[in-house]
Structure 1
């Protein structure tokens, strides 16, 4: 199968000179986690939730508002691209090997589409012979409702993960993602006076930002069921609990992309 058979042709594009606040508004409106960045019609970068968590939370930009920062100062430039003829499995391998979540599709220097880990997730909608427990990430890193979001931001960036389940006394009470933090940081910069930002941001707790009552799965759910739930709920990861309601893992779109990269064959087979 080639990329042209599955790529998304509806593209959400911003100019490098647009403001980050506009990018956030567009992401929220279109319910996407990345935008393609152009300069005079040419692809020059990608801006993602991770980029915003990284830059908006940095000390260098701490006093700046999202409405005063250009996308060019936040985006990841020189993105890896593929062609419509690129093999889908190879595309999944590129995403995993390069630790990226999307690949713009370019033909004759023209931007014609994009594939993402969400695209790979859709390829798993008919996988009924593999179960969640066989491919989930076991013993995931977690946080608590009383941890600070700046500490969670640091963990996400250091460990290259996009979400953390939230546990209170061993019980799952929510999940916090890059998207939650990026949106909160942008709104925080706009609402809180500059002179108070540095002090206040240090004390913002996970419970103020996290998603409560996230969708859940059990290890014996089929991969097809998991992919469908991710698609319907528009989430990147789902906590996995046992029948005692204890967290035992997390299933991410990265896990499903790895499955595609491995041609739907379990790695230990």
Structure 2
């Protein structure tokens, strides 16, 4: 089956000359985490911007003194975009996503974007026995990067950047208290830059704490849950990662879309007809 059969054809794009605020508004409106950036003249793909890009770069020292109204998409987007063609097979596109550790690929035909494929598209309808009968304990990430609610925003950002991850599990007195995602970081820093005068931002950013931006009401799962059930929860609740806990709400690991996608790819490659 070609990727054209399952790709999203109603693509949301952003002009590379628009601001990061424009990009964030589009992401929130359409409930997406990445936007292909296009040239205003040719409409051709010139880059891609993700929530992770915004979370890490907006608050970095390099852009610390740049007003949000002056921060263009072209400044922080990834210019070297990995793409696929409509005629590529699902397995070919899956391989690109797994090999390059990316969550979405624009589908390009003759220089123009004609579709978009994301991890979520591959996590829908995992009804084969291998997915309903295999528990996540076989594929979850056991090494979990955690942070305390009293830690600072800047520390959370640094942990996510250094570990190349999109979420931190917040642990208080040994139990799961919340989760912080790159979306939380992005929203927090943009709100902060809007309300705090520029001359005070460098000092006052250290007064932002994890407990102020973390999601306190979170969904957890157990090691015995099936891959299919967890994938269904991720798709329906729009989660990209779910903490795995025991009966005392202590962290046992974390399961992400990437973990499941890797399993789907391995299974599909062995089956040979995807």
Choose from 156, 160, 164 the match for 2:160.
156
Task: Give the Cα–Cα distance (whole angstroms) in 2 for the partners of residues 259 and 104 of structure 1.
Answer: 22
User: Counting helix residues as a fraction of each chain, which structure ranks higher?
Assistant: 2
Determine the structure 2 residue equivalent to 1:225. 229
Determine the structure 1 residue equivalent to 2:257. 253
Asked if the contact 1:22/1:67 (under 8 Å) is kept, the reply is no
Is residue 2 from structure 1 mapped to residue 2 from structure 2 by the alignment? Answer: yes
Determine the structure 1 residue equivalent to 2:73. 71
Choose from 55, 58, 61 the match for 1:59.
61
Determine the structure 2 residue equivalent to 1:16. 16
Q: Cα deviations across residues 100-142 of structure 1 (Å, max 9, x unaligned)?
A: 2111111222211111122222253652121121111113111
Q: What 5-or-longer segments of structure 1 have no aligned partner?
A: none
State which drifts further: 223-232 or 123-132.
123-132
Displacement of 1:90 after TM fit?
2.7
Is residue 46 from structure 1 mapped to residue 13 from structure 2 by the alignment? Answer: no
* Alignment size in residue pairs: 266
Task: Give the Cα–Cα distance (whole angstroms) in 2 for the partners of residues 203 and 125 of structure 1.
Answer: 47
Determine the structure 2 residue equivalent to 1:188. 192
**Paired residue secondary structure (1:164):** strand
Asked if the contact 1:259/1:265 (under 8 Å) is kept, the reply is no
Task: Give the Cα–Cα distance (whole angstroms) in 2 for the partners of residues 161 and 69 of structure 1.
Answer: 24
Determine the structure 2 residue equivalent to 1:35. 35
Asked if the contact 2:175/2:251 (under 8 Å) is kept, the reply is yes
Determine the structure 2 residue equivalent to 1:135. 139
Determine the structure 2 residue equivalent to 1:213. 217
Task: Give the Cα–Cα distance (whole angstroms) in 2 for the partners of residues 19 and 102 of structure 1.
Answer: 21
Task: Give the Cα–Cα distance (whole angstroms) in 2 for the partners of residues 221 and 125 of structure 1.
Answer: 14
Task: Give the Cα–Cα distance (whole angstroms) in 2 for the partners of residues 83 and 260 of structure 1.
Answer: 21
Moved over 3 A (4+): 123-126
**Paired residue secondary structure (1:76):** coil
**Paired residue secondary structure (1:138):** coil
The CA RMSD measured in Å over matched residues stands at 1.6
State which drifts further: 233-242 or 89-98.
89-98
Q: What 5-or-longer segments of structure 2 have no aligned partner?
A: none
Determine the structure 2 residue equivalent to 1:96. 98
Displacement of 1:177 after TM fit?
0.5
**Please, what TM-score do these two structures have when normalized by structure 1?**
0.94
**Paired residue secondary structure (1:7):** coil
Task: Give the Cα–Cα distance (whole angstroms) in 1 for the partners of residues 119 and 84 of structure 2.
Answer: 15
Displacement of 1:264 after TM fit?
5.5
Task: Give the Cα–Cα distance (whole angstroms) in 2 for the partners of residues 42 and 190 of structure 1.
Answer: 32
Task: Give the Cα–Cα distance (whole angstroms) in 1 for the partners of residues 268 and 99 of structure 2.
Answer: 17
State which drifts further: 243-252 or 59-68.
59-68
Choose from 197, 204, 207 the match for 1:200.
204
State which drifts further: 257-266 or 69-78.
257-266
